[in-house]
């Protein structure tokens, strides 16, 4: 994990919210955290990453329940963090408030939209932080900043007091530098009692998904596989072609399947279709939430974000019902596929973080591949954790584990159990790449 002095441009505002009754017995006693600028704090305007939003909205009347829960568990909140405007980007660049500096790769984007929250953890400014994840806004910056990021099962953690983006996919997620803190925060937010430790019944490597990587797939997949073999035994490791399974078991995806495409560019048609369905429903729900405000205020929005916001505002209801059917079918199919205590392994993103201020048009293939991967948890509602795997050619790399809806505590336990063997395998892989 990489860090230097300064606040890395991570914070919008700094303040102290302390536990009302601090006690060494509290589970998060002594830990500090920051929150994305989508979480309400009583008496403060929740700015949503945009100055026009901030000037046209009143201060919050109450504090988000997730923030209160962390305070009650003994943690101290030290401020709100910079985010992409209206949460509509996975890059982490904000033309109004600046781009938080990636502590692992200063010439690269930090990832978004929970950019400042990830940077604050990666730069060791706080012990953990809160973000939101609709289309990837915790998982992507976690990967880019070389830290752990957890997207919980959909609707398991309260989103009350958090500005909505698209309710079918919105989740409150969190970042940490190690799996112990990640799990401690999870125990509080998930309201989960200590669950008995359960070994995974199978850990399934989605081999086609690893073909989407721009770096050698073995640098990612094999590090995880070797760690799993050491920890749980080689018999739990299975391999699959996820795209074929999705194509055969989610019939409603047919109307989103591309009829053509560039044969020289590798993609997974069924996952690309899944991504299309997700983003259509996301646009429709964003419009219902914020379309009237956008059309009335006509906010000043940054490049890329402006186009996406206006595309959403103009979207029609066409195919929205099919999107909801895709969601239902995919959830059932993936639940059956993983069974009890199964885990799916995929790359978090298709490669290392892009360089700052890259022309958006040059990132189209990267974004398409990224959303093919990110839509798996998004559409299924499953929980997902992004795990840092050290550095490859001086850039952070990661892998993701997914478990079925409601298996959040199980997944956090597995990640913690893998920690020591993963550190050994990462060290070996980093030495081999030099």
As annotated, the active-site residues are: 36, 113, 137
Distance, in Å, from the CA atom of 121 to the CA atom of 126, rounded to the nearest integer, reads 5
Q: Which of 242, 250, 364, 380 is nearest to 307 (CA)?
A: 364
Dist. CA 95–CA 302, nearest whole Å: 6
The helix (H) or strand (E) run that includes residue 67 is helix 65-72
Terminal Cα-to-Cα distance of the chain (whole angstroms)? 18
Report how far apart, in Å, the C-alpha atoms of 285 and of each of 5, 320, 325 are. Answer: 40, 10, 15
DSSP string, 259-324: S---TTS---HHHHHHHHHHHHHHHHHHHHHHHHHHHHH-----TTHHHHHHHHHT--STTHHHHH
Edge-first strand order for the sheet with 202-206 is 11-17, 76-81, 32-36, 128-133, 171-176, 148-151, 383-392, 395-403, 342-346, 202-206, 237-240
Q: Which residues pair with 384 in a beta bridge?
A: 151, 402
Could you check whether the bond before residue 119 is cis, i.e. omega within 30 degrees of 0? Answer: no
Q: How far apart are alpha carbons 321 and 429 in whole angstroms?
A: 46
Name the residue with tokens 């584990």: 401
Which is nearest to 273 in space by CA: 341, 156, 375?
A: 375
Report yes or no: 322 and 328 within 8 Å, Cβ to Cβ. no
């Amino acid at each position: 994990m990489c860090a230097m002095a300064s606040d890395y441009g991570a914070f919008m505002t700094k303040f102290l919210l302390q536990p009302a009754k601090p006690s060494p017995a509290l589970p998060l006693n002594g830990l500090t955290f920051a929150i994305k600028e989508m979480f309400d704090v009583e008496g403060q305007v929740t700015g949503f990453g945009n100055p026009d939003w901030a000037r046209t909205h009143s201060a919050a009347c109450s504090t988000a329940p997730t923030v209160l829960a962390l305070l009650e568990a003994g943690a101290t909140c030290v401020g709100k963090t910079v985010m992409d405007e209206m949460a509509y980007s996975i890059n982490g660049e904000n033309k109004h408030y600046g781009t938080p500096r990636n502590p692992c790769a200063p010439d690269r984007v930090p990832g978004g939209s929970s950019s400042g929250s990830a940077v604050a953890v990666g730069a060791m400014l706080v012990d953990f932080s809160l973000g939101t994840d609709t289309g990837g806004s915790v998982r992507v910056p976690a990967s880019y900043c070389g830290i752990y990021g957890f997207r919980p099962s959909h609707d398991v953690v309260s989103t009350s007091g958090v500005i909505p983006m698209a309710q079918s996919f919105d989740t409150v997620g969190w970042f940490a530098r190690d799996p112990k803190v990640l799990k401690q925060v999870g125990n509080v937010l998930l309201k989960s009692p200590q669950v008995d430790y359960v070994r995974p019944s199978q850990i399934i490597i989605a081999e086609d998904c690893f073909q989407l990587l721009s770096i050698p797939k073995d640098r990612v997949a094999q590090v995880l596989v070797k760690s799993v073999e050491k920890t749980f035994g080689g018999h739990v490791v299975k391999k699959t072609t996820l795209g074929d399974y999705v194509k055969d078991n989610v019939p409603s995806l047919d109307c989103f399947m591309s009829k053509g495409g560039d044969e020289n560019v590798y993609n997974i048609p069924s996952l690309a279709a899944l991504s299309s369905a997700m983003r259509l429903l996301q646009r429709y729900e964003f419009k219902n939430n914020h379309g009237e405000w956008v059309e009335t205020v006509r906010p000043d929005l940054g490049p890329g974000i402006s186009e996406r916001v206006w595309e959403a505002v103009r979207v029609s209801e066409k195919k929205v019902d099919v999107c909801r059917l895709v969601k239902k079918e995919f959830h059932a199919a993936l639940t059956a596929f993983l069974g009890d205590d199964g885990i799916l392994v995929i790359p978090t993103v298709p490669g290392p973080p892009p360089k700052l201020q890259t022309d958006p048009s040059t990132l189209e293939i990267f974004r398409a591949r990224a959303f093919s991967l990110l839509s798996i948890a998004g559409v299924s509602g499953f929980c997902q954790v992004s795990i840092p795997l050290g550095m490859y050619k001086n850039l952070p790399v990661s892998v993701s584990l997914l478990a079925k809806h409601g298996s959040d505590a199980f997944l956090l336990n597995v990640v913690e159990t893998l920690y020591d063997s993963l550190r050994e395998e990462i060290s070996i892989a980093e030495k081999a790449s030099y």
